[in-house]
Structure 1
Amino acid sequence: MIRLAILAALASLSLAACAQAPGPRADADAPRRIVSLDYCADQYVLKFADRGDILALSPDAEKSFSYMRAEAGGIRTVRPRTADVLALQPDLVVRTYGGGHDIANFLEKPGVPVIQIGFPQTLDEVRSEVLRVGTALGKPEKAEGLVAEMDSRLRAISARKHPRRSALYMTPAGVTTGEGTLVHELFVAAGVDNFQGRPGWNPLPLERLAYEKPDLIAASFFDGGTNHVDNWSAARHTVAQAQLRDLPVVPLEGAWTACGGWFVVDAVEALAAAAEEPS
């Protein structure tokens, strides 16, 4: 059934291409029918593509963890499935993870180019992705301006002086993060020490928290209910709950850290501002 749907979509695409014979235009190489397959890709498409050129966004485009959710209103959405996407006859698809690892191959076979957005783990990688994807979407100057604005805000943060304070990143799923992740890089940029000593993503260090406390809790994704707290989550433990109750909490919107983009600077500013508050 799925194969038949894909073949039908391909046939429709071929017939439409034969039936239409658009005249030449000055910007013939610029994408005019853009489809985004996931909410990380949505942010870049909404930022850099002209609204009239956006054919469809992902079903998550207006969710609370989508930074550009206000701009997504009124734009149609599409499920990240090959047949559904090809039926729209796009001339460009943008994705981070949407549709699974094989969808790019299926889309490129009939000639639909795909921009693959990476998973930045440092601020330098964020800058590179903004410049690369912004340029691919036809807005190199806007991308350069956005990176310049990022750098200006980060310089202003680094110029602010505050006592060294430690923070623990916490999510409703009961995980935290250490060195080697983008969140850790945001802590460094904010001038905040990461309480989590182990690199990568790990469960909350409940045993350590029983006898040692960070100065701050950086609580992310608690705003939108996107990370449900189940009975097995470390976030339900009384030790974890005590941190949220007894320590200063820096609320980090899930949209600031869910993807690697220019908007991560919002999280850096929030962390730096919290570190300046008297303890």
Structure 2
Amino acid sequence: MLRRAAALALLTALALPVAAKEAPRRVVSMNLCTDQIAMQLAAPGQLHSVSWIARDPRSSAMAEEALAYPANHGRAEEIWLMKPDLVLSGTFTARASVEMLKRLGTRVVEVPPAYSLDDIPDRIRTIGAALGREAEARAMIARFEARLTALRAEVGHRPSAAIYYANGYTTGDRTLAGEILITAGFDNIAGDTMGGHLPLELLAMADPDAIITGTPYPGASRSEEVLAHPVVEALRARAASRAVTDSDWICGTPYVLKAIDDLAAFRKGLE
């Protein structure tokens, strides 16, 4: 009897670290994309701070919601002084700060960017697990996948489109932006690529039915001068042109569904 009781006590002791693991109570996010998923998943009072860029409506789809949280600038010193028990970071975010926080003993969960629509549920799942909000993450994923399935309906005619950004940069089908374009019912002239620089000559020869550009930033930028080039202006005069809301496209969050919906409405307007 005594031996059985000792064995039971040992098993209980071994199980304690797993059972006693609690959800973090003070979370700091230092990446725009983890900011937005965390704001949607975190329990009340659990998320303490988000990155400063989460407040910028040009980049963040949740700029207004971000105002409810103190902003951080990704510096190790300021984040450590916030005394978080969990830091959410991107895999390319402020590497020096991330490594310093790890050396100081702070738990850091690094979340890679979403490179496709299929990556988004995994990113939600990762952050939900880190926050101890698995049920909420599963519910968000279910809503996302159901809506995405509805948006992926067959399209009879697919107009051609070019995504054209500053410095003449474009993105192909093997990117999140490219998949948004395809799902909305367009054919991307960049094709099955990651993208890259698209010379004006090739853009003119492709003669797309639509040109999708980003919203210009305030002030003057030499990188954006190409968007006002006479060749681009001539193409815009013949084709439909649309300046997209970049904040819905930048991160792999459920807000990409709004980007798809808006582009699909634009396509239907062309028809």
TM-score range, shorter chain: 0.7 to 0.9
Deviates more, 1:97-106 or 1:201-210: 97-106
Superposed CA offset, 1:111-154 (max 9, x none): 21111111111111112111121222122222222222222222
Q: Does 1:93 align with 2:93?
A: no
Q: 1:231 to 1:143 in 2, by over 3 A?
A: closer
TM-score, length-scaled by structure 1: 0.80
Q: 1:41 to 1:209 in 2, by over 3 A?
A: same
User: Residue 129 of structure 1 aligns with which residue?
Assistant: 123
User: Residue 5 of structure 2 aligns with which residue?
Assistant: none
Alignment of 1:194-209 (within 5 A): 194-197=188-191, 199-209=193-203
Alignment of 1:193-232 (within 5 A): 193-197=187-191, 199-222=193-216, 225=217, 229-230=221-222
Q: 1:240 to 1:105 in 2, by over 3 A?
A: same
Alignment of 1:42-57 (within 5 A): 42-57=35-50
User: Residue 272 of structure 1 aligns with which residue?
Assistant: 264
- CA distance in 2 between counterparts of 1:137 and 1:98 reads 21
Q: Does 1:252 align with 2:244?
A: yes
Deviates more, 1:110-119 or 1:198-207: 198-207
Judge conservation of contact 2:22–2:132 (CA < 8 Å) in 1: no
Percent identity over the alignment is 29
Matched residue type, 2:183: A
Shift of the alpha carbon at 1:46? 0.9
Q: Does 1:239 align with 2:231?
A: yes
Judge conservation of contact 1:174–1:233 (CA < 8 Å) in 2: no
Helix, strand or coil for the counterpart of 1:250?
Answer: strand
Superposed CA offset, 1:225-265 (max 9, x none): 27964167432321123334442223421111111222112
- CA distance in 2 between counterparts of 1:137 and 1:83 reads 23
Helix, strand or coil for the counterpart of 2:163?
Answer: strand
Matched residue type, 2:202: R
Deviates more, 1:185-194 or 1:203-212: 203-212
User: Residue 55 of structure 2 aligns with which residue?
Assistant: 62
Matched residue type, 1:182: L
Q: 1:92 to 1:231 in 2, by over 3 A?
A: closer
Shift of the alpha carbon at 1:211? 3.5
Superposed CA offset, 1:185-210 (max 9, x none): 22222232101247223223310233
User: Residue 67 of structure 2 aligns with which residue?
Assistant: 73
- CA distance in 2 between counterparts of 1:231 and 1:90 reads 39
Superposed CA offset, 1:12-60 (max 9, x none): xxxxxxxxxxxxxx98611111111122221122111134222211111
Judge conservation of contact 1:127–1:262 (CA < 8 Å) in 2: no
Helix, strand or coil for the counterpart of 1:210?
Answer: helix
Q: 1:231 to 1:124 in 2, by over 3 A?
A: closer
Judge conservation of contact 2:25–2:85 (CA < 8 Å) in 1: yes
- CA distance in 1 between counterparts of 2:135 and 2:26 reads 21
- CA distance in 2 between counterparts of 1:249 and 1:160 reads 23
- CA distance in 1 between counterparts of 2:221 and 2:236 reads 14
Alignment of 1:28-177 (within 5 A): 29-64=22-57, 65-96=59-90, 100-159=94-153, 161-177=155-171
CA-based RMSD of the aligned residues comes to 2.5
Helix, strand or coil for the counterpart of 2:45?
Answer: helix
Shift of the alpha carbon at 1:221? 3.3
Deviates more, 1:115-124 or 1:102-111: 102-111
Helix, strand or coil for the counterpart of 2:36?
Answer: helix
Shift of the alpha carbon at 1:184? 1.4
Listed as ranges, the gaps of 5+ residues in structure 2 are 1-18
